Structure 1
Amino acid sequence: MTVQLRPWSPSDAPALLAARRSSPDLSRQFGGLEFADGTQAAAHIQTHLRFDESAVNWAVVEDGVAVGNVGLSAIERRHGTAWAHYWLAQPVRGRGLAAGALQSAATWAFDDGLFRLELGHRLDNPASCRVAVAAGFVAEGIERQKLRYGDVRHDVETHARLATDPVGQAVALPVNGS
């Protein structure tokens, strides 16, 4: 099995559609979008999973098929900061791929001149917390009722990793084509 990170391509639309349908909890990651077909998934890749000066996204690819995403958004060069995010399709979770992808994204960001990466996860998502910690992100505090999904508000634990922090324990994934 070969796992790597690479920028998304419109040809990944069928895989994105399958990943989105693999788990109801991904609805939050996609802002409620359901992707009725491959055309809508391809449009999402082009508009939201882009790779440019303000956002970078890599497909987590296993044996040639995109099974997840790791990205940096809100890239701010003056202060050297960005917001990290990640998700995986249900069938590939629990194998360290998200932590490895996040580790690689952090290395790329620091090599590209950023200094501070931030992320947040709902308190009711301990798996996301484990990913952050494994990739060397340090918990910084709780933001009360920060996120709202439907009528429910969720507390969020924020984490950050600085360029000067130790590398996490996760095994980084190779990055191709960025």
Structure 2
Amino acid sequence: MPLLTDDLVAAERFTKGTQPEIATGDGLLLRPWLVDDAQEVFEVFADPLIQRWHVRSAGSLAEVRDWIERWAGTWSAVVAANWAVTDIASGRLVGRASLKNLELTGGQAEVAYWTAPAVRGQAVTPRAVAALTTWAFDIGFHRLQLSHSVANQPSCRVATKLGYALEGTMRSAGLHADGWHDMHLHARISGGQPAGMGGPDV
């Protein structure tokens, strides 16, 4: 049965194009993941807050290298788009910014992110997600959404400051190490409030 609408985002951008680098314009660069990032990622996932909200720890460098290979491979598979967030001046890894669950026909995706513990409070997440949001809307995405535990108030403040409106609470929707959490659902529509900068970081 033929669809009556065209894809809002061209699959060829992923299947035939290389993953771009995205500069925030204020010192950060979103770039494709490299296996050489494994040591830094391993150290990030030793952090209790990262483990709490991302429900994952790293058992070994080999395991992290496998993660990175899978993160990198999602681009051409049109499954997700994962970037390492780096400090341009030092080249240091400072975070992750991703689009998950890509749905190209309707131009929808889910935003995910984390910030390295050493740079919390430096607005890494807002700056990276603002740049990623602009890029996604520029290539045709219509709706971006993100979710987080209702207990993760810093993430809630970041989402709101970036124009991701709180749409509601999904009851008992996220399984964490301490049990089921209610999850806030935020979303932003193309052409809506511009992504801002600054504010609390996570």
Flag whether TM exceeds 0.5 (same fold): yes
1:49, distance to aligned residue in structure 2 (A): 5.1
1:102, distance to aligned residue in structure 2 (A): 0.7
More strand by share: 1
1:30, distance to aligned residue in structure 2 (A): 5.0
- Equivalent residues in 2 for 1:10-89 (5 A)? 10-21=35-46, 23-28=47-52, 31-37=55-61, 39-48=62-71, 50-52=73-75, 53-62=78-87, 63-89=90-116
Contact map agreement 1:133 1:168 (CA 8 A) in 2: no
Partner of 1:153: 180
Q: Deviations over 1:62-87 (max 9, x none)?
A: 22121210100101011110000110
Contact map agreement 2:83 2:98 (CA 8 A) in 1: yes
Contact map agreement 1:8 1:50 (CA 8 A) in 2: no
Distance 2:134 2:167 in 1: 20
RMSD between superposed Cα atoms in Å: 1.8
- Equivalent residues in 2 for 1:120-139 (5 A)? 120-139=147-166
- Find runs of 4+ consecutive structure 1 residues off by over 3 angstroms: 28-31, 48-51
Contact map agreement 2:148 2:156 (CA 8 A) in 1: yes
1:150, distance to aligned residue in structure 2 (A): 3.4
Contact map agreement 2:164 2:188 (CA 8 A) in 1: yes
| Structure 1: runs of 5+ lacking an equivalent | 172-178
Structure with higher Rg: it is 2
Q: Deviations over 1:116-172 (max 9, x none)?
A: 00101111101111211222111100111111123511111100011111212216x
Q: Is the partner of 1:60 in helix, strand or coil?
A: strand
| Structure 2: runs of 5+ lacking an equivalent | 1-25
The percentage of counterpart residues that share the same residue type is 32
For the pair 1:115 / 2:142, whether they are aligned, the reply is yes
Aligned residue pairs total: 169
